Chains A and B, each alone.
Chain A
Amino acid sequence: MLTDFGKILIFIILAIVFVIITLLISKLIRPNRPTFEKQKVYECGENPEGSPWVKFNIRFYVVALIFIIFDVEVVLLFPWALIYKEYGIYGFAVGLIFLLILGLGMAYEWRKGDLEWARPQPKPPKLSDILNRNSETLNSN
């Protein structure tokens, strides 16, 4: 028996085969003349500075943490959503309590500032500052 999961399997296999074939064809017909300059990492025409694997902000990690927890809650909510109609007010109460707990976690993050992202703080230049600076440079000269 070919179930619908079997059809998905066929589709997935075809997708993989298709991608491999196109990549292979392009590998066969395209030119390949590597040079030292070409193989360098692009950094606006300069020589690359330092390790490419730079450290990045810890907030990305915190976002991923929050995401895992809410992802699990979404997955737990799906079975509830599917049988909700059968249980009437009881189902409503169950879901509401769950969503409230979820909202509590959200409120905690919000309150503690874990959802805040570093915001640019542009300072428009003041005329007096520019004038002062200019007079300083003039004096030093």
Chain B
Amino acid sequence: MKIDLILFFLLAGIAVVTSILVITRRNAIISAVFLVLNFFALAGLYLLLNAQFISVVQIIVYAGAIMVLFLFVLMLLRTDNESPILSDKRPLKYFAILISVFVFVQIAYLLFAGKPSRNITPDEAASINSGTIQAIGKELYTNYIIPFEVAGFLLLAATIGALVLAKKKFE
């Protein structure tokens, strides 16, 4: 039990520090490196919550696929002559601050004043079972069969949309 707690604080610490580094680095590629590290810390946190499938998917899809695309874009755009986005656009800066304060208040409310909508019991055995990929498969193919196939269509639409947009932008 204690090791869990130590690991949690370690991973949470890494997650917080790396996310701060992501937004403070000048070089976009270095930011990307820290973002990958951040994904790792999050995957570790999921694992501590017994959500094995989510944890691995986090790494395969986010760290392994989406970040590769990010890197490609960053390399394609040449990052050696980038200028800071926020410094020359004042209104945008205030808007960003407003949004972050709003989100922070929401999270603080949830943590300290909000009540869970359902009665959640910390049943560890049940949580271990529901996190396995088999359990997720069963749910997907019984209760959530329509959303699953719709997700397939969504991905199809995403494929076509992405290709059309990419070509329009660069050709």
* A residues apposed to B, CB below 8 Å: 5-6, 51, 53, 55-56, 58, 60-62, 64-69, 71-73, 75-76, 78-80, 82-83, 86-87, 91, 94, 97-98, 101-102, 104-105, 108-109, 112, 114
Q: Are the C-beta atoms of B134 and A79 separated by less than 8 Å?
A: yes
B151 → chain A closest CB, angstroms: 7
Q: Are the C-beta atoms of B145 and A94 separated by less than 8 Å?
A: yes
The proximity string for B residues 40-81 relative to A, scoring 1 for CB distances below 8 Å and 0 otherwise, is 000000010000010001001100111011001101101110
Q: Which residues of B contact A67 (CB under 8 A)?
A: 65, 68-69
A50 → chain B closest CB, angstroms: 11
Count, chain B residues at interface, CB 8 A: 42
Q: Are the C-beta atoms of B75 and A56 separated by less than 8 Å?
A: yes
Q: Which residues of B contact A76 (CB under 8 A)?
A: 140, 148, 151-152
Cα distance, A104 to B171, chains bound together (Å): 24
**Could you tell me the dominant secondary structure of chain A's interface residues?**
helix
A86 → chain B closest CB, angstroms: 8
Q: Which residues of B contact A80 (CB under 8 A)?
A: 137, 140-141
Q: Which residues of B contact A109 (CB under 8 A)?
A: 159, 163
Which interface residue of B53, B61, B65, B80 has the most chain A CB atoms within 10 A? B65
Q: Which of B119-140 contact A (CB under 8 A)?
A: 133-134, 136-138, 140
B49 → chain A closest CB, angstroms: 12
Q: Are the C-beta atoms of B163 and A53 separated by less than 8 Å?
A: no
A9, closest chain B residue (CB): B7
Decide yes or no: A71 and B170 within 8 Å by CB, A65-B69, A82-B133, A91-B141 being known contacts.
no
Q: Are the C-beta atoms of A58 and B76 separated by less than 8 Å?
A: yes
Q: Are the C-beta atoms of B166 and A62 separated by less than 8 Å?
A: yes
B56, closest chain A residue (CB): A75
